[in-house]
Amino acid sequence: MTCVAIAGCKSGAKDATPTTWNLDCKTAIQTYLDTADMKWRGEKEITKGNNIVVDYVGRLSDQEVFDTSVESVAQACGKYQAGRDYTGWLAFQVGAGQMIAWFDQGVEGMKLWQTKTITIPAKDAYGEWSKDKLVAINKAKVPEADKYTVGTMVQTDYGQVFKVYEITATQIIFDANHELAGKDLIFDITVKEIK
Residues ≥6 apart with Cβ < 8 Å to 114: 37, 41, 190, 191
Indicate the range of 32-41, 134-143, 152-161 predicted with least confidence: 32-41
Q: How confident is the model at residue 93 (pLDDT cuts 50, 70, 90)?
A: very high
pTM beyond 0.95: the answer is: no
Contacts of 93 (CB under 8 A, 6+ apart): 49, 50, 51, 52
Domain boundaries, the chain: 2-14+127-175, 19-123+181-194
Identify which of 172, 155, 153 has the alpha carbon closest to the alpha carbon of residue 163.
153
Q: Confidence band (pLDDT; 50, 70, 90) for 12?
A: very low
> What pLDDT does residue 23 have?
61
CB 20 within 8 A of CB 26: no
Res 98: pLDDT: 94
Contact call for residues 53 and 90 (beta carbons, < 8 A):
yes
Side-chain half-sphere exposure of 35, counting CA atoms within 13 A: 9
Helix/strand/coil (H, E, C) string of 77-96? CCCCCCCCCCCCCEEEECCC
Contact 185, 119 (CB under 8 A): yes
What is the β-pairing status of strands 185-194 and 115-120? antiparallel
Tens of pLDDT, residue by residue over 97-154, are 999 889 999 999 999 989 999 999 999 999 999 999 999 999 998 878 888 899 988 8
Amino acid at the residue 125: A
Give the pLDDT of residue 40: 65
One CATH from 3.30.559.10, 3.40.1800.10, 3.90.1150.10, 3.10.50.40 for 19-123+181-194: 3.10.50.40
